[in-house]
Amino acid sequence: MEQKPARVRILDAAHQLMLTIGLARATTKEIARAAGCSEAALYKHFASKEELFVVVLRERLPRLNPLLARLTTDPATGERTVEENLTEIARQAALFYAQSFPIAASLYAEPRLKHRHDEAMRELGTGPHLPIRGLAGYLRSEQTAGRVRPGADTYAAASLLLGACAQRAFAYDATEEGRPPQSLDDFAVSVARTVLSGIEA
């Protein structure tokens, strides 16, 4: 069987290690070993571990930002309702945060490492604030289209929806069930309806 290209193997290995041992402990040496290549080969494809982390988020996790960009450009794509669009956003966001939270959480135990990652994200023009900006932009486009109430605080609405999706990733681990009380699909519908009820035209 033909071996995957080195870049793909590196991303696969990085994703797996970041999930299992955490971002702070996943060294480039360990990632390269798991990918079956040298550390030098890793650096041929990625300038730093921080860049590798960003690419893992972009290419291996549910894709939230492209969805928001598409909806902002043409909010009425396919004649979907605002509720349907917000439900799709909530579903993708919940999946994204469920997979990214375990990877990124270890950063908070290492302040210097987190500072390096924050700096790298600024340089790469990315970060966890972008989905909030993207969703607020989508809601502003819906205001222009007359489907969101004039004067509604689109940034607050975006923060509420995405905040609920992020919290779902970790808030229920300590419960007796060890999981959220609603299915992903039911949660996405409920949170979309609740947010929309406060801003709908």
Q: How confident is the model over 18-72, as pLDDT tens digits? A: 888 887 788 999 999 999 999 999 999 998 888 888 888 778 776 777 777 777 7
d(CA 141, CA 48): 36
Q: What is the 3-state secondary structure (H, E, C) of 27-95?
A: CHHHHHHHHCCCHHHHHHHCCCHHHHHHHHHHHHCCCCHHHHHHHHHCCCHHHCCHHHHHHHHHHHHHH
Question: Distance (Å, rounded) from C-alpha 31 to C-alpha 36?
Answer: 9
**What's the whole-number mean pLDDT along residues 4-10?**
91
Q: Which of 11, 5, 48 is nearest to 31 (CA)?
A: 11
Beta carbons within 10 angstroms of residue 40's beta carbon: 8
The predicted-structure confidence for 95-146, as pLDDT tens digits, reads as follows 888 888 877 777 777 788 788 878 877 887 777 888 899 999 999 999 998 9
Q: At what angle do helices 6-20 and 82-104 cross, to 10 degrees?
A: 80
Separation between Cα atoms, residue 78 and residue 182, nearest integer Å: 28
Banded model confidence at residue 2, pLDDT cuts 50, 70, 90: low
What single letter denotes the amino acid at residue 118? Answer: D
pLDDT number for residue 93: 92
DSSP, collapsed to helix, strand or coil, labels residue 141 as helix
Q: What tokens appear for 175 in the block?
A: 């419960």
Q: Residue 160: exposed, middle, or buried by beta-carbon count in 10 A (0-12, 13-18, 19+)? A: middle
Tokens of 44: 């041929």
Determine the pLDDT at residue 29.
93
